[in-house]
Amino acid sequence: MNILLITLDQFRGDCLSSAGHPLVQTPNLDALAAEGVRFTRHYSQATPCGPGRACLYTGTYQMNNRVVTNGTPLDARFDNVAHAARRAGYRPVLFGYTDQAIDPRRATGPDDPRLSDYEEILPGFDAELDLRGDMTPWVDWLQAHGHDIGDSIAQTLAAESERPAEHSHSAFLTEQAGEWLDRQDGPWYAHLSYLRPHPPYAAAGDWTRRYDPADVSLPIPPTPEHPLHDRALATIPAPEDEAGVRAMRAQYYGMISEVDDQLGHLWAALRERGSWDDTFVVVTADHGDQLGDHGLIEKMGWFEESHHILGIVRDPRRPAAHGTVVDRFTENVDVLPTLCEAMDIEIPAQVDGLPLTPFLDGEEPPWWREAAHWEYDWRDRFIGHGEPAVWPWDRRLERHHLVVLRTKDAAYVQFGNGSWLCFDLAGDPTWRTTTDDPAVVLPLAQSMLTWRSEHSDRTMTGMVLRQGGVGRWPDPHPLDEVSPAGASTAPR
């Protein structure tokens, strides 16, 4: 099988027409879902981009990979989607970016430029189209088409509406991927990392006028419940005027429909090449966008809008489940084990997620999780400020962290400083009503502790060194006979 992993940056899970969005149209993602499986409760495990992608690429929770902000190095010991592809015999290629900072222990020296950039390429990928930083290949392409370029890449992106849609960032990536596909003569593995609908909130070409701001619904109003929310409102607030909020949301929806249109071109290209029925497709996002909800933009905190994302998987070998919709809780840490099973290789021991394969077969495993989890860390606001830390014993930065356990009816938020919030989602799905009922809170807090215990790093915890070699769990020779003194009576 060919493997196609697509990420759409900052794509909220509710912004699909197949998910019932009242305005935005996504016909090509809907078509993919009709030929695959759509996961309605799919979640990112961290924000912003670097942490969210670290969880996606390694299949591990933030508490294990410890990528807590853009620029935190990804420990080189972790396996990832590209390394797995190489073990399966592929040459994994990247179109776009991965936002993974290098492990400094792998640097060539103190002057290694990779030590000054968090937008490095995930180890294992060959960058067929490198769109990091100033996005030089796209900028050069725009200039070759006669466009004036702004002084910064942010200005260039903000001017997308002033250029034809066929010259957009998404269109360029799609075109380059299509030309690469023309050169392939065997099974391939490609990761297409699209920027949109990431801000700036400016859709390309005519897509900027696709949605009338007057038709756009207003966001959930803010109800500050914690100092972190107050701080966010002071630093990354949504536009205060109604017209500004409506315009921002209309542009976001335009960006979604524009990148969906590009995916339609990609689907068509695969069909024209006769590859569609030989290609395993995963489409997800690194995180969502507040889009004005709770008074905020961008992504952060405990909020549903920052972490609920799209999730669609198509396996052409499993047509019986095509068109099904799964409402169990699924997570981005499930992507790596799913890809491993699609490539018929062993799932790494580090993985915290679960393979989605049963759902692709139309089954619903009874042992599946009953909640989603995600984490957010804001220590980067304090690094280099205040009193110097006493290294390595000072743990003050660990207090600037939260973990969310989200069930069908409630969400429990545990903060690193010991405080907590519990939201009654059955009574108010907008995350604006809290509860301190012990009958609700205590079981959730206990579940959080259990979750942490079950998912602590286990790279070597399933092994035991003993006479005769390395034992693994499940052990073919279990020490199931133990004397009262605790000494094993099993043969050595």
DSSP string of 427-478, one letter each residue:
T-TTS--B---HHHHHHHHHHHHHHHHHTS--TTTTEEEETTEEEESSPSS-
Q: State how far the Cα of 224 lies from the Cα of 232, in Å rounded to an integer.
A: 10
Q: How open is the CA angle 98-90-180, to the nearest 5 degrees?
A: 70
Q: State how far the Cα of 122 lies from the Cα of 136, in Å rounded to an integer.
A: 19
* pLDDT at residue number 485: 39
pLDDT digits (tens, 9 = 90+) for 119-140: 999 999 999 999 999 999 999 9
Q: State how far the Cα of 138 lies from the Cα of 140, in Å rounded to an integer.
A: 5
Active-site entry in 15, 49, 55, 340 = 49
Bond prior to 365 in cis (omega within 30° of 0): no
Q: Where are the domains of the chain?
A: 2-369, 375-383+395-454, 464-492
Q: Judge contact between 53 and 286, C-beta under 8 A.
A: yes
* pLDDT at residue number 487: 37
- Contacts of residue 149, defined as CB under 8 A and 6 or more positions apart, other chains included, come to 139, 142, 143, 156
The pTM of this model reads 0.94
pLDDT digits (tens, 9 = 90+) for 35-93: 999 999 999 999 999 999 999 999 999 999 999 999 999 999 999 999 999 999 999 99
Q: What is the CATH architecture assignment of 2-369? A: 3-Layer(aba) Sandwich (3.40)
β-pairing verdict for 410-415 and 420-424? antiparallel
| Cα distance from N-terminal residue to C-terminal residue, the chain | 45
Helix axes 27-34, 242-272, angle to 10 degrees: 50
The answer to whether 340 is a known catalytic residue is: no
Q: List the one residue out of 91, 484, 9 whose CA is nearest residue 283.
A: 9
pLDDT digits (tens, 9 = 90+) for 296-348: 999 999 999 999 999 999 999 999 999 999 999 999 999 999 999 999 999 99
In this structure, the number of other CB atoms found within 10 A of the CB of residue 182 comes to 10
Q: How many C-alpha atoms does 55 have within 13 Å on its Cβ side?
A: 31
